[in-house]
């Protein structure tokens, strides 16, 4: 131990003299220390959370040294850095990944083995950190892993929700939500940093005051303040000793409680403001239309934006005092969708009201530091906030947004004089009885970069949703195709495949996924093929055991595992999948099932609690499943199972075991998809529409190794107006039989009418998702997929090629793209510090 001399702020750093050894001996000794002395436990019970916690502490100690080193290097070099602002980080479990990245998996396994424990069991004890809804939140988590691995100075800023994504239980076929109390047993990864707490203002009013120099200043007064307390989670890079930070904010009352009120005898009122403050970070919002427009959600967004920007400025001032001249050159804020878009106005406020900037100076900094990523084309998903709510909650921010809009409208009027329609269309304010703030437009106007998440999606943004803006500022628009981290989504979740690949190619694919391309050479090698199949079979057995455990249904691994797991949404068309299941059921029942590949159709996903249609899709799947699974004629031929409580750790078991990956959204609706990439990486073959990143997946692997079906974006566009689903049903015997079965009540014998709305939606000429339009081509493509599956050699070849061609879909590539085109930060060089 030693103490470093003080820096210019007078702080002295306490240094550890030696690094902790990575040997099994040392790990076991630390484990024993934490289990016995710190947590005060004696008996080893396999299911105890304390075993897991003790392993985490032993690993965390080793992360801590590296974490400090990374922090010090970035500080010392005064490097340009990125803050990734996101309302969601869907991290999943952290232990396996930390051990893998630290390179201490083997030694930890050995250490635990000595006391009769299996690392696998210990890892299984970790609860998922489920602070996200789906793709957008998981993408943020994969980004952090890749940034740390690429040594990029990127800090994630998010919210430490007390309750994350709800747990899903199925009762009589219906989804039942249960609170996710993920913090109840403690969360050993986080470090509370009370010393960096920030104050966040709400309410009050915006006023103008004259300062000592006689200048007018905006002030925001009579506010209700809330404390933002940061909790840091380490984000280790892969075998590079870099540890980045995920900083999550938790809300707390500034004053424990109101003593005046307490003394006056009103105990309940005295704690009311404490409760109101802490409510802000109580629960993650599910993404459903009905949840929009809620005040608490806006509070969350502002809370995150303000705390993170203030934190960045505090950190800046510690190093640069009041000199902001380099601030824009050294900072970049990436907005994960519009959720944190209020940061545009908040940075303006902080610079002008609190740091003496004039409007133009502040706007220059804002426009040079903000970058916005869009994640959806669904118009109903574009966030808008009532002006009235803003005025009540964030009055000073509303002033600023109005002023940004005034400057912006002046710019449009100059470019297109007299085009009032354009002004109305592009204004940040949607006029009407209840005027609304268009958060996407605020994000666009305030950012130097606007990107979509797959090539098709980025094109559709430019040509459709954001057309006017792309015309005004073509250079700001760009594409960054999503990816996934191969450390979690291949190396960690599919060790058997990782080893097989390793035997042929070595391990460099773990940090350079394009290396997988060399697998193509073995696609037709019979010996390699056989081993490839053995791995898939073992993974299927593992998943089958998990399913049997959860549902007490037995599953045969001879079947093709045909999998669709993702949030339940009409545009994702789980219903189309069910129609196909019913079609197969009908064929087998009629005796027309000869030669069909035996199939397990596995569907999993959560419906937003307020999304009625999505919830009836779940009920429908479960009802159809019950009929199919209890029909003896289906035994060994067809099974339909709903996988309850789908989450990140479930996907870690599911994607290595999948044969067929269902990516069947209505073309033009799925921005990218990332599950599609996880399946591809693990050797599943996609059946999919030309939507989102499916287009690029098909390009990468070749049309022969992808089951394509369905209308294109252009087809769908052309169909609108003349779409006649009833005619499609009547003109197609297979389709008619499926609809007849549904309409006859075959799947809801004792629950009359419950599927009516769903059935009607398929027959609706105005159906935005055009499910019926793709029925025929879907069934045909499925027939080809089934036949191909029965040609073992061909299927295995296709499977190997899918993995081999998945190199582009690593978030390492995605992060390089962001850095080359948007961020321009230098990798952290820890050696030289």
The catalytic position among 376, 674, 689, 803 is 674
Whether 8 is a known active-site residue: answer no
Options 153, 668, 673, 683; binder of ligand 26V; rule CB under 6 A = 673
Whether 572 is a known active-site residue: answer yes
Tell me whether strands 243-253 and 154-159 are parallel, antiparallel or unpaired. parallel
C-alpha closest to that of 553 among 586, 601, 585: 601
**Helix, strand, coil percent content, the chain, rounded in steps of 5:** 50, 15, 30
Q: Any residues with CB less than 8 A from the CB of 157 and at least 6 apart, and which?
A: 83, 84, 85, 86, 247, 248, 249, 304, 307, 308, 311
CA–CA distance, 142 with 164 (Å, rounded to integer) = 18
Minimum distance from residue 669 beta carbon to ligand 26V (Å): 8
CA 36 and chain centroid, separation: 37
CA 362 and chain centroid, separation: 32
From residue 721 to residue 750, the character string flagging contacts with ligand 26V as x (rule: CB under 6 A) and all else as - is: ------------------------------
Whether 678 is a known active-site residue: answer yes
CA distances, 665 to each of 427, 464, 572, 686 (Å): 32, 19, 4, 12
From residue 683 to residue 702, the character string flagging contacts with ligand 26V as x (rule: CB under 6 A) and all else as - is: ---------x----------
CA–CA distance, 658 with 652 (Å, rounded to integer) = 11
The catalytic position among 66, 160, 567, 698 is 567
Q: How many residues touch ligand 26V (CB under 6 A)?
A: 22
Minimum distance from residue 372 beta carbon to ligand 26V (Å): 13
570 is a contact residue toward ligand 26V (CB under 6 A): no
The catalytic position among 66, 247, 457, 572 is 572
Whether 375 is a known active-site residue: answer yes
Cβ distance to ligand 26V smaller for residue 160 or 569: 569
Cβ distance to ligand 26V smaller for residue 289 or 829: 289
375 is a contact residue toward ligand 26V (CB under 6 A): yes
Cβ distance to ligand 26V smaller for residue 536 or 669: 669
Options 671, 738, 741, 825; binder of ligand 26V; rule CB under 6 A = 671
Cβ distance to ligand 26V smaller for residue 27 or 142: 142
Cβ distance to ligand 26V smaller for residue 639 or 814: 814
CA distances, 19 to each of 15, 22, 23, 64, 111 (Å): 10, 9, 12, 10, 19
Cβ distance to ligand 26V smaller for residue 141 or 620: 141
CA–CA distance, 555 with 537 (Å, rounded to integer) = 13
CA distances, 551 to each of 89, 170, 547, 648, 747 (Å): 29, 10, 6, 19, 20
C-alpha torsion angle, residues 194, 199, 203, 206 (rounded to 10): 180
C-alpha closest to that of 341 among 290, 302, 375, 286: 302
436 is a contact residue toward ligand 26V (CB under 6 A): no
Residue nearest to ligand 26V (CB): 135
Q: Is 480 within 8 Å of 373 (Cβ atoms)?
A: yes
Minimum distance from residue 678 beta carbon to ligand 26V (Å): 11
Residue 476 is given by DSSP the state G
In 494-557, alpha helices (H):
495-505, 526-551
Select the span of 273-281, 284-292, 324-332, 586-594 touching ligand 26V (CB under 6 A): 284-292
Q: Is 31 within 8 Å of 111 (Cβ atoms)?
A: yes
287 is a contact residue toward ligand 26V (CB under 6 A): yes
Minimum distance from residue 85 beta carbon to ligand 26V (Å): 15
483 is a contact residue toward ligand 26V (CB under 6 A): no
The catalytic position among 62, 678, 797, 808 is 678
The catalytic position among 375, 462, 569, 698 is 375
Structure tokens at 769: 């998702």
CA distances, 269 to each of 52, 262, 273, 277 (Å): 41, 8, 7, 13
C-alpha closest to that of 482 among 440, 451, 509: 451
CA 364 and chain centroid, separation: 31
206 is a contact residue toward ligand 26V (CB under 6 A): no
Options 24, 59, 85, 139; binder of ligand 26V; rule CB under 6 A = 139
531 is a contact residue toward ligand 26V (CB under 6 A): no
Phi, psi of 511, deg, nearest 5: -120, 0
Minimum distance from residue 433 beta carbon to ligand 26V (Å): 22
296 is a contact residue toward ligand 26V (CB under 6 A): no
Whether 550 is a known active-site residue: answer no
Q: Is 663 within 8 Å of 673 (Cβ atoms)?
A: yes
453 is a contact residue toward ligand 26V (CB under 6 A): yes
Minimum distance from residue 190 beta carbon to ligand 26V (Å): 25
Q: Which of residues 461-480 bind ligand 26V (CB under 6 A)?
A: none
CA 661 and chain centroid, separation: 19
Cβ distance to ligand 26V smaller for residue 670 or 817: 670
Minimum distance from residue 677 beta carbon to ligand 26V (Å): 9
Select the span of 469-477, 589-597, 672-680, 807-815 touching ligand 26V (CB under 6 A): 672-680
Q: Is 702 helix (H, G, I), strand (E, B) or coil?
A: coil
482 is a contact residue toward ligand 26V (CB under 6 A): yes
Q: Which of residues 318-357 bind ligand 26V (CB under 6 A)?
A: 337
Select the span of 68-76, 281-289, 678-686, 751-759 touching ligand 26V (CB under 6 A): 281-289
Options 376, 577, 711, 799; binder of ligand 26V; rule CB under 6 A = 376
Angle at 758 between CA 752 and CA 759, to 5 degrees: 80
Structure tokens at 102: 């630290």
Residue 182 is given by DSSP the state T
Structure tokens at 391: 């005025």
Options 183, 378, 537, 794; binder of ligand 26V; rule CB under 6 A = 378
Options 145, 562, 670, 696; binder of ligand 26V; rule CB under 6 A = 670
In 642-712, alpha helices (H):
648-654, 675-681, 694-701
Q: DSSP string covering 624-644, please?
A: HHHHHHT-GGGTTTEEEEEET
Minimum distance from residue 737 beta carbon to ligand 26V (Å): 32
Strand stretches in 70-161, DSSP E: 81-85, 89-92, 129-131, 154-159
Options 136, 602, 603, 667; binder of ligand 26V; rule CB under 6 A = 136
Q: Which of residues 115-134 bind ligand 26V (CB under 6 A)?
A: 134
Cβ distance to ligand 26V smaller for residue 197 or 381: 381
Whether 567 is a known active-site residue: answer yes
Enumerate the β-bridge partners of residue 192: 231
135 is a contact residue toward ligand 26V (CB under 6 A): yes
C-alpha torsion angle, residues 645, 651, 655, 656 (rounded to 10): -110
Q: Is 600 helix (H, G, I), strand (E, B) or coil?
A: strand
Select the span of 293-301, 317-325, 377-385, 504-512 touching ligand 26V (CB under 6 A): 377-385
Residue 163 is given by DSSP the state B
Select the span of 17-25, 190-198, 257-265, 668-676 touching ligand 26V (CB under 6 A): 668-676
CA–CA distance, 52 with 108 (Å, rounded to integer) = 12
- The residue length of the chain stands at 833
Enumerate the β-bridge partners of residue 90: 130
Q: Check the CA dihedral 782-784-786-788 and report its sign.
A: negative
107 is a contact residue toward ligand 26V (CB under 6 A): no
Options 674, 796, 802, 830; binder of ligand 26V; rule CB under 6 A = 674
Indicate which residues carry an active-site annotation: 375, 566-567, 572, 674, 678
Residue numbers of the site for ligand 26V (CB under 6 A)?
134-136, 139, 287-289, 337, 375-376, 378, 380-381, 453, 482, 569, 670-674, 692
């Amino acid at each position: 131990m030693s103490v470093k001399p003080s820096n210019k702020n007078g702080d002295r750093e306490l240094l550890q003299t030696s690094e902790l050894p990575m040997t099994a001996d040392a790990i076991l000794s630390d484990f024993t220390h934490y289990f016995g002395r710190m947590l005060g436990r004696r008996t080893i019970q396999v299911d105890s959370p304390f075993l897991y916690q003790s392993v985490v502490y032993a690993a965390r100690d080793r992360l801590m040294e590296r974490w400090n080193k990374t922090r010090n290097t970035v500080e010392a070099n005064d490097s340009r850095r990125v803050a990734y602002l996101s309302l969601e980080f869907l991290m999943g479990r952290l232990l396996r990944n930390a051990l893998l990245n630290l390179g201490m998996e083997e030694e930890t396994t050995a250490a635990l083995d000595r006391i009769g424990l299996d690392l696998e069991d210990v890892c299984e004890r970790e609860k998922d950190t489920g602070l996200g809804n789906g793709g957008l939140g998981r993408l943020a988590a994969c980004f952090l892993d890749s940034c740390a691995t690429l040594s990029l100075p990127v800090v994630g800023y998010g919210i430490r929700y007390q309750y994350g994504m709800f747990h899903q239980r199925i009762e009589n076929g219906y989804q039942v939500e249960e609170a996710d109390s993920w913090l109840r047993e403690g969360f050993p990864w986080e470090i509370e940093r009370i010393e960096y707490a920030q104050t966040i203002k709400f309410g009050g009013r915006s006023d103008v005051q004259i300062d000592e120099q006689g200048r007018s200043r905006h002030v925001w007064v009579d506010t209700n303040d809330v404390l933002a307390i940061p909790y840091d989670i380490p984000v280790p890079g892969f075998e590079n000793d870099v540890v980045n930070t995920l900083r999550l904010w938790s809300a707390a009352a500034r004053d424990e409680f109101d003593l005046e009120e307490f003394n006056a005898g009103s105990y309940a009122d005295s704690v009311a403001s404490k409760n109101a403050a802490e409510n802000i970070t109580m629960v993650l919002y599910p993404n459903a239309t009905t949840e929009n427009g809620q005040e608490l959600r806006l509070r969350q967004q502002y809370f995150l934006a303000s705390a993170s920007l203030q934190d960045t400025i505090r950190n800046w001032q510690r190093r640069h005092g009041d000199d902001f001249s380099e601030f824009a050159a050294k900072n970049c804020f990436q907005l994960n969708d519009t959720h944190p878009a209020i940061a545009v106005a908040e940075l303006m406020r902080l610079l002008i009201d609190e740091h003496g900037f004039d409007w133009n100076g502040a706007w220059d900094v804002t426009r040079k530091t903000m970058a916005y990523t869009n994640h959806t084309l669904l118009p109903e998903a574009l966030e808008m906030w009532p002006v009235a709510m803003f005025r009540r909650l964030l009055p000073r921010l509303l002033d600023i947004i109005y002023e940004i809009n005034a400057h912006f409208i002046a710019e449009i009027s100059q470019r297109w004089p007299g085009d009032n329609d354009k002004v109305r269309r592009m204004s940040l304010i949607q006029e009407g009885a209840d005027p609304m703030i268009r958060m996407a437009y605020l994000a666009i106007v305030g950012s130097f970069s606007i990107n979509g998440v797959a090539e098709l999606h980025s094109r559709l943004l430019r040509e459709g949703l954001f057309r006017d803006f792309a015309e005004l500022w073509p250079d700001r628009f760009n594409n960054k195709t999503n990816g996934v981290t191969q450390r979690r989504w291949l190396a960690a979740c599919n060790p058997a495949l990782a080893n097989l690949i390793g035997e042929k190619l070595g391990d460099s694919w773990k940090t350079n996924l394009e290396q997988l391309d060399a697998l193509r050479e073995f696609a037709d090698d019979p010996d390699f093929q056989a081993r490839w199949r053995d791995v898939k079979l073992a993974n299927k057995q593992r998943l089958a055991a998990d399913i049997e455990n959860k549902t007490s249904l037995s599953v045969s691994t001879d079947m093709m595992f045909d999998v669709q797991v993702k949030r339940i949404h009409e545009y994702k068309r789980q219903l189309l999948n069910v129609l196909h299941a019913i079609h197969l059921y009908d064929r087998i029942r009629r005796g027309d099932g000869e030669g069909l590949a035996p199939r397990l159709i596995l569907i999993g996903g959560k419906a937003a609690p307020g999304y009625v249609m999505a919830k009836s899709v779940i009920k429908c799947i479960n009802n159809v499943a019950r009929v199919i699974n209890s029909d003896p004629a289906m035994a060994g031929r067809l099974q339909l199972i709903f996988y309850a409580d789908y989450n990140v750790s479930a996907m870690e078991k599911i994607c290595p075991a999948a044969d067929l990956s269902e990516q069947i959204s209505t073309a033009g609706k799925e921005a990218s998809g990332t599950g599609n990439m996880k399946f591809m990486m693990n050797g599943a073959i996609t059946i999919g529409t030309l939507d989102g990143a499916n287009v690029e997946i098909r390009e990468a692997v070749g049309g022969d190794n992808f089951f394509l079906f369905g209308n294109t974006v252009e087809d769908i566009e052309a169909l609108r107006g003349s779409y006649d689903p009833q005619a499609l049903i009547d003109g197609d015997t297979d389709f008619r039989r499926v609809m007849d079965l549904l309409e006859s009540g075959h799947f809801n014998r004792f629950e009359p009418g419950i599927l009516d709305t769903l059935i009607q939606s398929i027959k609706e000429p105005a159906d935005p998702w055009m499910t019926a339009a793709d029925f025929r081509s879907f069934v045909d493509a499925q027939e080809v997929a089934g036949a191909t599956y029965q040609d073992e050699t061909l299927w295995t070849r296709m499977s190997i090629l899918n993995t081999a061609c998945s190199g582009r879909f690593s978030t390492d590539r995605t992060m390089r793209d962001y850095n080359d085109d948007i961020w321009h930060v230098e990798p952290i060089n820890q050696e030289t510090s």
